[in-house]
């Protein structure tokens, strides 16, 4: 085992949209938050996130360094929506007045600019030039948990940020509420940017948001991002395809059915030894996934890697054969977000050779 640390469009008027019932709110409760995660990504309890988004909590904050967090995860979402809603309504009113006063021609555009922007795997230098330009010009940005803090630092000084992230056991907003927010602000004439980690159309539900908005008459522009598979593989020196080694690459979701330990989908042809498998969100289901792949014929000694917080200064990596990977991940306690790469191409990385030498040295020392 080796653990290696990192060396513009105009929309037509949209039809009426019924507000979701979920905006019927429970009473607000708040306590002070003192946790400060070292993660480069936004977290639901991070002080950085609340300081960045405190425009929606003005009536709740007593001190600049405090953040309102309900005492149990089940009530956090209701609390956040209740605290944010008055400010969101006021922002909508300001945007509508601004649009009406300019006849919908402010900056040469009409209402309804929505951009789905991929921010890459974490390193802000991997953003596209177009993504940076759109981020800096946005009026309102709705961002996910896996958008790094360094990327959010690029946001313009007059923009509003709103966290809509999701993680296991905690959804700050339902997908339907995210749809409603995007639609409401687009109709009000805002330049709305939906920030997503990686690429917005790779396991990011960007397709659902685009489809919903288009059905409401809102035109959407997608700005692709470097998906975690290609960004992290490049960081490790792993070619996802390589002549004579891997002639294809396949992206899989490691999500389970109804929160269980069984992978959502593992087809027999996923165990192709001449292909590379990249598993997103697969920490909890990896043991079952590895067994199924081996059962379907993938050699147990297939090289594999797991990468936590890839391309960031906090990156951690484990290299191991497929049969041992889940145990090695448990030993070093890798956390989400972690990407898993399985296939012969992993052995082409110089870090695989390094990890093999380290493993041999450990065996000799025993």
Catalytic positions, written as ranges: 144, 166, 281
* Contact between 263 and 252 (Cβ < 8 Å): yes
Local structure of 35: helix, strand or coil? coil
Q: What is the dihedral of CA 289, 295, 300, 302, to 10 degrees?
A: -60
SS3 assignment for 105-138: CHHHCCCCEEEEEECECCCHHHCCHHHHHHHHHC
The span from the CA of 133 to the CA of 137, in Å, is 6
The span from the CA of 288 to the CA of 303, in Å, is 17
Residue 187 has which token pair? Answer: 């109709």
Local structure of 207: helix, strand or coil? helix
List the one residue out of 207, 202, 265, 210 whose CA is nearest residue 228: 202
């Amino acid at each position: 085992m080796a653990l290696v640390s990192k060396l513009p469009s105009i929309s037509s008027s949209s039809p009426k949209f019924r507000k979701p019932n979920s905006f019927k709110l429970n009473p607000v409760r708040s306590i002070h938050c003192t946790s400060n995660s070292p993660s480069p990504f936004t977290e639901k309890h991070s002080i950085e996130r609340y300081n960045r988004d405190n425009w929606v909590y003005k009536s709740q904050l007593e001190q600049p360094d405090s953040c309102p967090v309900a005492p149990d995860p089940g009530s956090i979402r209701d609390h956040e929506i209740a605290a944010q809603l008055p400010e969101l309504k006021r922002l909508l009113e300001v945007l509508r007045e601004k649009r009406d006063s300019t006849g919908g021609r402010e900056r040469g555009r009409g209402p309804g600019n929505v951009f789905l922007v991929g921010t890459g795997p974490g390193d802000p230098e991997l953003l596209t030039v177009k993504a940076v330009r759109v981020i800096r010009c946005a009026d309102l940005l709705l961002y996910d948990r896996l958008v790094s803090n360094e990327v959010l630092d690029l946001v313009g000084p007059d923009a509003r940020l709103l966290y809509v992230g999701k993680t296991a056991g905690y959804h700050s907003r339902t997908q339907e509420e995210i749809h409603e927010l995007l639609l409401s602000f687009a109709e009000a004439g805002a330049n709305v940017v939906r920030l997503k980690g990686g690429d917005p159309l790779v396991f990011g539900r960007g397709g659902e948001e685009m489809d919903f908005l288009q059905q409401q008459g809102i035109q959407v522009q997608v700005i692709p991002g470097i998906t975690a598979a290609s960004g992290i593989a490049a960081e490790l020196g792993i070619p996802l395809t390589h002549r004579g080694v891997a002639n294809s690459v396949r992206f899989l979701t490691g999500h389970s059915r109804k929160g269980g330990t069984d992978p959502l989908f593992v087809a027999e042809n996923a165990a192709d030894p001449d292909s590379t498998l990249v598993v997103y969100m697969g920490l909890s289901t990896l043991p079952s996934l590895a067994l199924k792949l081996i059962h379907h014929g993938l050699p147990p000694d297939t090289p594999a890697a797991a990468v936590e917080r890839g391309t960031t200064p906090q990156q951690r990596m484990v290299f191991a054969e497929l049969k041992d990977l889940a145990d090695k991940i448990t030993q070093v306690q890798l956390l989400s977000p972690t990407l898993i790469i399985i296939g012969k191409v992993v052995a082409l990385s110089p870090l695989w050779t390094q990890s093999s030498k380290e493993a041999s040295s450990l065996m000799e020392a025993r």
